[in-house]
Amino acid sequence: MIRVGTRGSKLALAQSGMVADAIGRLTGEHVELVEIKTTGDGTTVPVAELGVGVFVNQLREALEREEIDIAVHSYKDLPTAQPEHLVIGVPPREDPRDVLVAADGRTLADLGPGARIGTGSPRRIAQLNALGRGFECVPIRGNVDTRIGRVGKDLDGVILAAAGLKRVGRQAEVTEYLDPLVMLPAPAQGALAVECRKADMTSALISAKLNDRYSQAAVAAERALLQRLEAGCSAPVASLADVAEGADPGEVDLYLRGAVGAVDGSVIERLSTTAALADNGGPELAEQAAAAGRRLAEELLDAGAAQLLK
């Protein structure tokens, strides 16, 4: 039997169940989901005030105590510093974009000044305020059902991750998929992290077999940018990498965008870069992508990002 640790929310159970099904098909073994409550569960305190790793730490502790064999995380919840004794595989990434769910099927363009939009993310708030449309950003926590349930009541709309809605089967309620030019997503949004102990050879092999190299490289670039900026997962930092086969054999093209903003929307620094990466089937692809992320972070710092993050 293979024990997969997961948070107990509807979304966490849905995405961990997907991973468990994939493990079962891969190994033929019985896979059991083990629910673990984390610090971030069951509280309405904004994530920015809770600190780094609040949805992760208890899962990692269960791994280290060998109470579970594998932990499934939303990758964007992970601290940027990775423990050396734990390894991560990245299954194929879901849609990384943000979406709007609004009353009466409206889009952002349909919402006027004073429209109340629910989001507790400094990144989303900064980019909404930068539009200069006079929206009122309302801090909101809770699961997908709770957030969408407020639309048409005390909120005109909420902004959520497309991936989460797709994984719980509520994508039909999306009224607009937000273009990354308008709303650049969080680093690693839409990606899952399948984490296990490096010393557990069986689980490490499973994690490696579930890994999608292009998704892994994209996440590596985005999170390296975040780490170099010394910003946590709740900072007003956005990043998105697109990774695709290059024109020449063994070459992979990376297109990376990054942004840092003031929460009041007064300043948003946006930069992008491209890189041709060599792919020989080893870990070097992700390492090269991470190097590109650090380079773009340096450019953002030179453009004034350090002052915005203060």
Q: Which residue has the higher pLDDT, 305 or 40?
A: 305
Strands 192-197 and 70-74: antiparallel
What's the rounded mean pLDDT across residues 52-61?
Answer: 86
3-state SS assignment for residue 121? coil
Candidate from 13-22, 33-42, 298-307 with smallest mean pLDDT: 33-42
Instruction: For the chain, give the percent of residues with pLDDT over 70.
Output: 95
Q: Where are the domains of the chain?
A: 1-91+191-211, 98-177, 213-310
The reported pLDDT for the residue numbered 23 is: 98
The reported pLDDT for the residue numbered 96 is: 98
What is the pTM assigned to this prediction? Answer: 0.94
C-beta of residue 25 within 8 angstroms of C-beta of residue 91 = no
The reported pLDDT for the residue numbered 282 is: 83
Q: Where does the pLDDT of residue 43 fall: very low under 50, low under 70, confident under 90, or very high at 90 and above? A: low
Two domains, one topology: 1-91+191-211 and 98-177:
yes
User: What are the residue numbers of the active site?
Assistant: 77
In tens, the pLDDT along 280-301 reads 888 899 999 999 999 999 999 9
Burial category of 41 from C-beta neighbours within 10 Å (exposed 0-12, middle 13-18, buried 19 and up): middle
Could you tell me which of 175, 148, 135, 161 has the C-alpha nearest to residue 264?
135
In tens, the pLDDT along 256-273 reads 999 999 999 999 999 999
- CATH entry 3.30.160.40 includes domain 213-310: yes
pLDDT at 52 over 70: no
Q: Which fold has domain 98-177?
A: D-Maltodextrin-Binding Protein; domain 2 (3.40.190)
Instruction: For the chain, give the percent of residues with pLDDT over 90.
Output: 86
CA gap 164, 144 in Å, rounded: 8
What is 1-91+191-211's CATH number? 3.40.190.10
Partners of residue 99 on adjacent β-strands: 160, 177
What's the rounded mean pLDDT across residues 24-39?
Answer: 94
pLDDT at 51 over 60: no
